[in-house]
Amino acid sequence: MDRRTFVKNSFVAASGALLANCGFTAGTPLSQKNIPGTVAPSQIDSARFPDGFLWGLASAAYQVEGAWNTDGKGESNWDRFSHTVGKIKGGATADVSCDYYHHYKEDIAILKRLNQKSYRFSTSWARIQPTGTGPVNPKGIDFYSRLTDAVLEAGIRPFCTIYHWDLPQALEDRGGWPNRDLAGYYADFAGILAKHLGDRITTWAPFNMPWTFTYYGYGVGVFPPGKGDFEQFLKAAHTVNLAQGEAFRAIKAASAKATVGSAYGMAPAYPKTDSEADRAATARYHAMNNVYFLNTAMHGEYPKAFVGEPPYESMGFKPGDEKIMKVPLDWLGFHYYTRRIVSDARSGSRSSATGHFGTETEGEGGSASRDPLTQIHVEMPTEGPLTEAGLEIWPVGMYDLVMQISHEFNDPIIEISENGCCYLDAPDETGHVPDTRRIAFHRQHLAELARAIADGAKVRAYHAWTLVDNFEWADGYTQRYGLTYVDFRNQKRTIKDSGLWYGRVSASDRLSV
């Protein structure tokens, strides 16, 4: 049986099973749809969004800025990684990328033209503190200050993600995130940003996808610094949990107007079978991958991600850490790209196929489970259609995830911090980029988001990933997620049909436009 058939059969066996273990059934039954996971056209036509809904686009400093050593910027871990042979597809680097450091005004003009209400961007720590500690590089702060002003002048809300994966290499050299000292250094950096920009920026998220950069960087090694040791991951994740708490306080101390939320990566998880063991494994997946950094903030304790007690000693947990980690986030931001099917790694029946799918990597290779402490086996299903990054399109997952988080965290204010898809469409002979599959992707996910809002979820924003095609981490330039096409030979931007469509959506709050 090939992978697709295997997963299809196993998902059909599990359809109607519970999402995690919190009592949500997984959307509409499959039999009511032509394409699994998709939504009916009538639902798209009738989708409505609340007044003042924040339509947005997102980007990340390392992926777009280029100018890797300009104006006093220090070396980052991603500079080092991409300059190391064999780490990035095609030997690519982000030394130049879309050169947004010099083209940001043009890109903000695109945001304005597309009627955007919110722009989520991140800052490069090494641009502001070249070695991660010590004095501020005035040219680095000045860049983000000019950027913020330009966003505000365009009538758009600036949403700052403080850390989207690029660590000053000098701090990696001091042990990176497994070194607990980084929590303090990071909080100092967050405080510097809030001091300089907090008069204009009020929406802050400390970390983009903390599970991803700690697990991929230290647990499996597909991201810098390329380590593959589960204990190092546990330590890194604990430092990040402490850093999140410390940064929350530092930001609030520097700026009374600040609100602090998150930009977590999440995937709704469905048990492979209805067995008790697979349902419990699915709950552990949710705890580990979705709410490991959220539960610590909201409740000051680790969620039940492990088969036994959390491995406090391996994490480097110290008495009192629960108080440092606990901070009442003002709103919750999370991304949704695709779902997972989960089983208990000890239960024998499993597919050997997993692999790497951009940043939605399941890095376990063919081994039995990710690790002996969680005993989860995770599959990337292929029941629905796939994007050109190989990720399954499962719009119903948006509804399921938003409802699950709303239920578990007492109806918080939610922002979708990212949602998007890779398609390689390029300009045709008329100069247009007819990326109709991307329009269909966003339309469907937004229809499911509208359904969640109609059912009571307090969602106030949606950020499509991403403003312009850019450097897609270890995949280099082999993937394009932008609503604007970039010709990397000459930096020419062309708004894709999806961008023009999204501009009309943002102006009308409707999807059939």
Binding stretches for ligand FCB (CB under 6 A): 60, 63, 208-209, 265, 335, 358-359, 418, 465, 472-473, 481
Phi-psi region of 380 (alpha: psi -120 to 50; beta: other; left: phi over 0): beta
Taking the C-alpha atoms of residue 194 and residue 379, their distance in angstroms, rounded to an integer, is: 40
State the nearest-atom distance from the C-beta of 331 to ligand FCB, in Å: 18
Of 167, 2, 88, 146, residue with least CA distance to 356: 88
Q: Return all residues near 253 (Cβ < 8 A) that are at least 6 apart.
A: 191, 194
Q: Write down the least CB distance from residue 78 to ligand FCB, Å.
A: 11
Residue 478 tokens read as 């082999």
Which CB atom, from 335 or from 496, has the smaller least distance to ligand FCB? 335
Dig out the tokens for 176 from the structure. Answer: 């990176």
| Strand-pair category, 340-344 with 376-379 | antiparallel
Nearer to ligand FCB, 11 or 423 (CB): 423
Cβ within 8 Å of residue 159, ≥6 positions away? 56, 118, 119, 120, 121, 201, 203, 204, 205, 415, 461, 463
Could you tell me if residue 358 is left (phi over 0), alpha (psi between -120 and 50 degrees) or otherwise beta?
A: left
3-state SS, one letter per residue, for 116-154: CCEEEEECCHHHHCCCCCCCCCHHHHHHHHHHHHHHHHC
Tokens 């911090």: give the residue: 417
Residues in the chain: 513
The CB density around residue 386, as the number of other CB atoms within 10 Å, is 18
CB nearer to ligand FCB: pick between 143 and 211: 211
CA distance 102 to 279: 50
Residue nearest to ligand FCB (CB): 359
**CA-to-CA distance for 307 and 184, rounded, in angstroms?**
31
DSSP 488: T
Query: Based on CB atoms, which residue is closest to ligand FCB, 191 or 482?
Result: 482
In the complex with ligand FCB, which residue's Cβ is closer, 198 or 358?
Answer: 358
CA separation for the pair 432, 427 (Å, rounded): 5
Q: Whole-number minimum distance, CB 90 to ligand FCB, in Å?
A: 16
107 vs 472 by CB, closer to ligand FCB: 472
Peptide bond into 310 cis (omega under 30): no
- 73/335 with CB nearer ligand FCB: 335
Least distance in Å: CB of 152 to ligand FCB?
24
**In Å, how far from its chain's centre is CA 487?**
25
Bridge pairing between strands 413-418 and 458-465: parallel
- β pairing state of 118-122 and 269-271: unpaired
Q: What is the closest distance, in whole angstroms, from the C-beta atom of residue 212 to ligand FCB in the complex?
A: 6
Nearer to ligand FCB, 26 or 266 (CB): 266
Shortest spacing between CB 145 and ligand FCB, in angstroms:
23
Hey, what amino acid is at 77? Answer: N
| Residue closer to ligand FCB (CB basis): 49 or 62 | 62
The nearer residue to ligand FCB, 375 or 466, going by C-beta atoms, is 466
Identify which of residues 218 and 481 has a Cβ nearer to ligand FCB in the complex: 481
Measure the CA–CA gap between 53 and 37, rounded to whole angstroms. 25
Q: Nearer Cβ to ligand FCB, position 470 or 506?
A: 470
Minimal distance, residue 350 CB to ligand FCB, in Å: 25
Q: How far is the CB of 441 from ligand FCB (least distance, A)?
A: 13
The two structure tokens encoding residue 41:
């056209």
Q: How far is the CB of 165 from ligand FCB (least distance, A)?
A: 7
CA–CA distance, 398 with 419 (Å, rounded to integer): 9
Quote the least distance from Cβ 508 to ligand FCB, whole Å. 27
Q: Sign (positive/negative) of CA torsion 150, 479, 267, 61?
A: negative
Smallest distance from the beta carbon of 32 to ligand FCB, in angstroms?
30
Q: In whole angstroms, what is the distance from residue 134 CA to residue 47 CA?
A: 50
Name which of 38 and 161 has its Cβ closer to ligand FCB.
Answer: 161
Q: In angstroms, what is the minimal distance from the CB of 478 to ligand FCB?
A: 12
The two tokens of residue 247 are 């940064």
- Residue of 400, 379, 78, 161 whose CA lies nearest to 266: 400
CB of 244 to ligand FCB, least distance (A): 16
